[in-house]
Each structure stands twice: as C-alpha cells, then as structure tokens.
Amino acid sequence: MNIKTSCRLLMAGLLPLFFFSLAHAADIKIGVAEALTGPASQYGIPIRNGFELAADEINAQGGIHGVPIQLVVEDERGKKEEAINVYKKLAFRDKVLMIFGPTLSNSMFAAGPIANAAHFVAFGTSNTATGITDMGPYTFRSSPMESDVVPVTLKSAISHLHIRTAGIIYGNDDAFTKSGYDVFRKSLEDQHMVIAGTETYSRGDVDFKPQLTKLMALHPDAIICPCLSEEGANIMLQARSLGMKQPFIGGNGFNSPQLIQNAGKAAEGTIVGSPWFSDNPSPENQHFISAYRKKYGTPPNQFSAQSYDALYIVADALNHIALSGNLNSDRQSLRDALPKTTHIGATGKFAFRPAHGQDKKPAGYDADQLPFVYVIKNGQFVLMK
Amino acid sequence: MWEQQLVNAISLGSVYALFALGFTLVFGVLGVINLSHGGIFMWGAYTSLALVTWFSMPLWIAFPAGMLCAGCLGLLIDILILKPLRNRQANHLMPMIATIGATILMTSLAQGVFGADNQRYPANLFPDLEFQWGETRLTLLQISITVLSLLLTAVMVWMLKRTRMGLALRAIAESRQTSALLGIPVERLFHMTSFMAAALGGAAGILIGLSFNAISPFMGQSMLHKGIAAVILGGLGDVRGAVLGGFFLGASEVFAVTFLSSDYRDAFSFGLLFLMLLWRPQGLFGTGKLREG
C-alpha cells in the first residue's frame, strides 16, 4: 500500500466523521414567515425585529446548549397564497425545526394545515382570530385571542365611563375586523349594553363620514371600532370633525403607536386592551425596550414584544430537550415540550392553555395571559386603573 | 342629519370629480385608458407630503410643487410607455396592461421610500376653520376642495372650448392623422395632455390626503375604481361628464349609507353604474370623444 492510497483511505474514513460533526454543529434553524412588504408589513416588520433581537441575545449567551439559533426569514407579504409558498419552502427545502408566523390570521388559516399535516410547530405571535388553534395539535400562538381581551376591556370601560349604549363601526370584508366585531357584539350583549347602531365599511375606504353622521344621530355613549389602526385613526379624525365627542373603544388593531401619531388629539380617551404595556416597569420589559431601541432606533410595539417573548419561549422548550439530529423526531419533541413551557418576558407572565377544538378533534395551544387595559391620555397609552 | 349628509356627498363628490377629470382627459385626447392615474394620484400626495414634512415647506408651495411632480411623472409615463406603444400602433389593450405595470412599479417604489403604513399631513397644516349651522358642520377644507375642483373643471372646459390649444386637442380627438397633416404638433400635445391630466390627478391626491388623512401606497387602487365609475357615469372622454359623474357617484354612495345601509354602499353605487351602462352606454354626456368639448 503506497502513501497515496493510505491517504485516500484515511480521507475516506474521516469524511463521514467530518460530516457527522458538521451535522451536529449546524445551527438550530427556525423559520420566520412574516409580512415584510405590503400593508401588513406594519405589523410584520416589528415582529421580525423582535425575533432577531431575541435571537441575538440568546446566541450571545451561548445559544441552546452551545448551539446558536439561526433564523430563516421569509416574506409572506400578508397574502394567503404567499404564506403557503413560504411555509412549504421553509419546511421542506430549508428543513427548519418550526415556523413562526404568518402575520395575519387570514394567512395562518391558509398555512397552518401544512404544519399539522407535516408534523411541525406553527407558532403565531400576532394571530388573534378565533379558530386558529382548532386547526390541529401543531398550532400554537402566544397572542391572546380577542375573545379573551375584549370582555376585560369592555368591563373596565363600562365601570369607568358609565356607558350604556354603543355605536359600532367595523370593516365587514376582513377576517380580523369581522371576528373582532363578533367578539365585541357578544361581549356587549353579555354585559347588557345597548347597541344603538351598527355601520360597516370596506377595505381601502377613506371616507367614513356618512356612516359616522348616521351614528351621531343616534347619540351613543361610546363608539366601538374593531378596526386596524390606519382606518381607526381616520375614523376618529372624521368623527371629531363632525363634532362627535364620544370615546372610542377598540380591539387589537388599535395597539399601535401609529394610531396616536395619525389621529393626534382625536384619539384622546380611546380605550384599548393589549397583552403588552410599554410602561410596565418589570425588568424584563425595561430590558427589552432599551435593547430594541438600541438595535433599531425606534420604540418597540406590542407585536415586537410578543415575537421577542415567543422566541424565548421556544428557547426555553429547546433547553429542556436533547436534539437528535433527526428532523422529524426533533420537530415532534419540540412540539411535546412547548405546552409545558412557561415564561416571564416583556409581556409579563406567559403560559399555554389547550384550545377547546371543534368536535373533540385534537387542537393546539392558545395563550393564557391577562390583558392590560389602556386609555389614551395626552398622546400616551396610560394604564387604566 | 340630512344637511350633514348633503355636505358629505358634495365634498366626497368633488374629490371623485377631480380625479375623474384627469382620467377622462387622457382618454379623450390620447384614446388611452391610463390605469396608472391612481399611481400618479398617490405620488402627488406623497411628494407634497415629503416637501411639507422633510423640507417644512408651506402648503401653498407644496401643493403646486406636488402637482408639478405628478405632472412630470405623467409626462415620463407618456414618453417611456405610451409613446413607444403609439409609434408601434399597438392595440388599445397594450397601454392598459403597460400602465398597470407602471402602477405596480410606482406602488412598490412608494412602499420602499415611505413605508407601507398610512401617513398624514401634519395637523393644522390647513387652517382648521369650521362653520356650523345647528348640527351641520362644514370645514374650510371641504369648501376649498369643492371650489377648487369646480374651478379646475371650468378652466379645463374653457381651455378646450376657447383656446387654440383646446381647438387643437379637439381636432386630435376627432382624427389624429388629419390633425398631423394639418400641421398640429400632435406628439407635443399628447405630452402636454399627459402632463395636465397627471397634474390634476396629483392635485386630487393632495386634496384627498388633506381631507381624509390617509396617504398610503395603496390609496390609488380604490380611487381608480371610483374614478373609472365616475368617468363611465358621465361619459368617457367628456370633461363635464366626468365631473358630474364624480358628484353623482359621491351622492349615491352617501345616500346609499343614509337610506339603505353601509353594507350596500359599493353595491348600490356600482349597481347604478351597471344600470347606466344598460340604459345609456355612452354615459350622461358621452358622445364617445372630446369632440364637443
């Protein structure tokens, strides 16, 4: 045997070893499918930022058992079709361990079934519509449902402002605003409030004055507006210019600094519930806010707080399991470890709660978290006491 | 409530009218359905927003400057897209598709530069004056928008009827070849028309931005649908018709909400459009072309 062949043999012997160690040293790949362009990007971009900040921090502290987390970020553009494509790409080509996102509930309804069929975790951090986690046992979310937040919001609005009648305006062609409306209506009925009138608008409308003029004539005590912040700001401004003085009560869509920025004084007195409170003095929250400001130069919002916490929740779960290198079994063991995970983060105490599911079919896990109720005062979200 | 809804209808109608004015002008003269008008409308709003917020210019400079920029954008689209298609004598579908492409480009550009979320002009940019009779409120802004769109329409009608340029434009609308043979600088007038129409679109964008506080890269989309409806109601290519169509559409939307329900707002106004197409396919004023000024 000459030197050349022995060298070759040695190489051949070492090669699998080399690959083996490479496979083990490979980063933990986590997919992020969020709307980075299009109208929903005002939510998707802060969400991505939250993930990236958390990943930086976790990796700086040695990752998961010494292995860094690698985020594979894809733009799903806030569209169902795109969300499906991105989910398939992340799951089957990039072979990620699990996927965060998509941004909108609409898209989660489209992409979620892929995760449940292929047995990996689909983790929404911004989906609040009912029924998301009914899709199957692999669907998780850290965003409390509107049906958890709205009754708390309404209860404190009623006790503070002594309102008895309400007018409603909402978008009737969007899954998010429509489901917000249903939740509000049910909650209003449960709390024996009178619905003076209901008006609707469609996506892309900019003129709400005819509807508001109609509501104004009914003299309700408050206006309920389960809208996104862009329409919400506009509705407030137009209501004020018509001379309406009622306070607004909103859902998750109002949780954006954009609302105050756009509506200005018109937003004063608006009441909204949110899982995150920016002025929460807890060390976790204060650390998050200053780290976010340092990295991105802008203040974070609720959506970045939720995604930041979500990656820590997954990291906690990963810290309790040993990854084998076999993708399918690793995906399964992450799925099994997640429900037991609790976390104290920027949004406060967090735990999962099994979803009811429909027809006793296995379902996923919802967020078990109490919301904060704010009122807008002097251009700031202030905690309602 | 009635009086207030009437005020709502007129102020909404005047914005539709202003948008439809530029749209119909291009169709009347160039014979092209320019679907990039919504994109130009949006860029008009954004350029004046940028001038106001980035360079703290007063509105009376930012407004004409925004119109000018929108006009130049329209000219650019004419030179880069419509002219090559004219030279190739492409059929009428091609400019439609090409201008859809231009709109997508403009929307993505705006999104890249300004971001996807809604923006607004700074509060108090326009004097916050209000007039009130009983329950009815009227703002100075609403009055200005209505007056301005009527004024611009009057100028357009006067220009088409009373000036040499208007005469030339009507001649082109009648027959492009004959006009060229008679020595009318057809190409130059095409550029001119595209510029004017786009400037009007830009003005509409700025006014919508001021009155509804919602400037976004996607604002042109729904406006384009409404604008096309207004133009068809009034008669394609007719300037007075476009304005009347705009007011008609505004009123039908507002009164659909008042009498029926806001659920049927668009169904009602577009249903009206459908009936109009059955009853008078040429629209209220339409004779098909700009010939009658």
- Tell me the CATH number at A40: 3.40.50.2300
A284 shares a domain with A140: yes
| Torsion-angle region of B116 (φ positive above 0: left; ψ -120 to 50: alpha; else: beta) | alpha
pLDDT band at A6 (very low <50, low <70, confident <90, very high): low
Instruction: Give the minimum alpha-carbon distance from B56 to chain A in angstroms, rounded to a whole number.
Output: 18
Asked whether residue A379 is domain-assigned, the answer is no
In a domain, B271, yes or no: no
* Same domain flag for A114 and A180: no
Domain for residue A17, yes or no? no
Domain boundary among A217, A244, A274: A274
The answer to whether residue A1 is domain-embedded is no
Q: Domain residues for B167?
A: 2-115+134-219
Give the 3-state secondary structure of residue A344: strand
| Domain-ending residue, one of A252, A274, A296 | A274
Q: Mark which of A214, A247, A274 sits at the end of a domain.
A: A274
| Mutation to test the A interface, candidates B3, B105, B108, B117, most A Cβ within 10 Å | B117
The answer on A240 and A184 residing in a single domain is yes
> Is the domain of A286 the same as that of A324?
yes
Q: What is the pLDDT of residue B68?
A: 95
Chain B residue set in contact with A, beta carbons under 8 Å: 1, 4-5, 8-9, 12, 108, 111, 115-120, 123, 130, 132, 135, 137, 139, 208, 212-214, 216, 218-219, 221-222, 253-254, 257-258, 261-263, 265-266
Concatenated DSSP letters for A68-113? Answer: PEEEEEEE-TT-HHHHHHHHHIIIIIS--SEEE--SSHHHHHHHHH
Do β-strands A98-100 and A139-141 pair in parallel, antiparallel, or remain unpaired?
A: unpaired
Flag if B213 and A234 touch (Cβ within 8 Å).
yes
Query: What is the total count of domains within chain B?
Result: 1
Chain B: residue nearest A242 by CA?
B137
Cα–Cα distance measured from residue B270 to residue B265, given in angstroms and rounded to the nearest whole number: 9
Which of A28-37, A129-138, B230-239 is predicted least confidently? B230-239
A300 shares its domain with A335: yes
Per-residue pLDDT at B63: 92
Is B257 inside a domain boundary? no
pLDDT score at A108:
94
Q: From the CA of A205, how many Å to the nearest CA of chain B?
A: 7
Smallest CA-to-CA distance from A251 within A347, A351, A373 is with: A373
Confidence band for A17, pLDDT divided at 50, 70 and 90: very low
Looking at residue A172, its pLDDT comes to 86
Instruction: Give pLDDT, residue B283.
Output: 77
CB count within 10 Å of CB B98 equals: 21
Which candidate from B8, B213, B263 shows the least CB-CB separation from A210?
Answer: B8
Structure-token pair, residue B95: 């400019």
Q: What's the domain count of chain A?
A: 2
Give yes or no for a contact between B253 and B201, defined as CB atoms under 8 angstroms apart: no
Please answer yes or no on whether A213 and B208 come within 8 Å at the CB atom. no
As a whole number of Å, the CA-based R_g of chain A is: 23
The reply to whether A204 and A288 lie within a common domain is: no
Answer with the residue of higher pLDDT: A121 or B139: A121
Residue A291: its pLDDT value, please? 96
Tell me the average pLDDT across A68-92.
94
For residue B171, is it within any domain?
A: yes
Q: Looking at the structure, do residues A30 and A117 belong to the same domain, yes or no?
A: yes
Q: What single DSSP character describes residue B124?
A: T
Domain of A331? 22-144+280-370
Residue A107 sits in the same domain as residue A222: no
Residue A303's nearest CA partner among A279, A282, A328, A274 is A274
Q: Do A37 and B262 count as a contact with CB atoms less than 8 A apart? A: no
Quote the pLDDT of residue B290: 47
Residue B236 lies in a domain: no
**Taking CB atoms and an 8 Å cutoff, what residues of chain B touch A199?**
257, 261-262
Verify whether the Cβ–Cβ distance B118 to A233 is below 8 Å: yes
Contact A180, A226 (CB under 8 A): yes
Cα separation of B261 and A378, whole Å? 35
**Is position B52 within any domain?**
yes
Of A202, A206, A234, the CB nearest to B266: A202
End-to-end Cα spacing for chain A: 85
pLDDT band at A318 (very low <50, low <70, confident <90, very high): very high
Contact of A327 with A28, CB cutoff 8 Å: no
Q: Looking at beta carbons, which pairs linking A242-246 to residues 24 or more positions away fall under 8 Å?
A: A242/A209, A242/A212, A242/A213, A242/A216, A242/B4, A242/B137, A243/A216, A243/B132, A243/B135, A243/B137, A244/A212, A244/A215, A244/A216, A246/A167, A246/A220, A246/A221, A246/A222
Main-chain phi, psi angles of A249, to 5 degrees: -125, 125
* Together in a domain, A160 and A137: no
A249 shares a domain with A318: no
Q: What is the pLDDT of residues A321-338, one digit of tens each?
A: 999 889 999 999 999 999
- Which residues 6+ apart lie within 8 Å of B207 measured at CB? B15, B18, B145, B148, B149
Distance, in angstroms, between B162 CA and closest chain A CA?
A: 36
Residue A107 lies in a domain: yes
Do A129 and A245 reside in the same domain of the chain? no
Whether A13 maps to a domain, the answer reads: no
What is the predicted pLDDT for the residue at A102? 95
Which chain A residues are within 8 Å of B5, Cβ to Cβ?
210, 213
Q: Give domain status of residue B245, yes or no.
A: no
pLDDT confidence of residue A258 = 78
Confidence bin at A3 (pLDDT 50/70/90):
low
Taking chain B (293 residues) in runs of 10, the rounded mean pLDDT of each run is 88 90 88 91 94 89 94 94 88 89 92 81 80 84 88 88 89 87 90 93 91 85 88 83 90 90 84 85 64 46
Nearest CA in chain B to A266: B123
| Residue B127: inside a domain | no
Question: For residue B104, is it within any domain?
Answer: yes
Of A84-98, A171-185, A322-336, least confident by mean pLDDT is A171-185
Q: Same domain, yes or no, for A140 and A151? A: no
Round to whole Å and give the CA distance between A81 and A301. Answer: 27
**Has the ipTM of the complex gone over 0.90?**
no
B117/A213 touch (CB, cutoff 8 Å), yes or no: no
pLDDT of residue B116: 74
pLDDT at A30: 96
What single-letter amino acid sits at B27? Answer: F
Distance in angstroms (rounded) separating the CA atoms of residues A355 and A94? 29
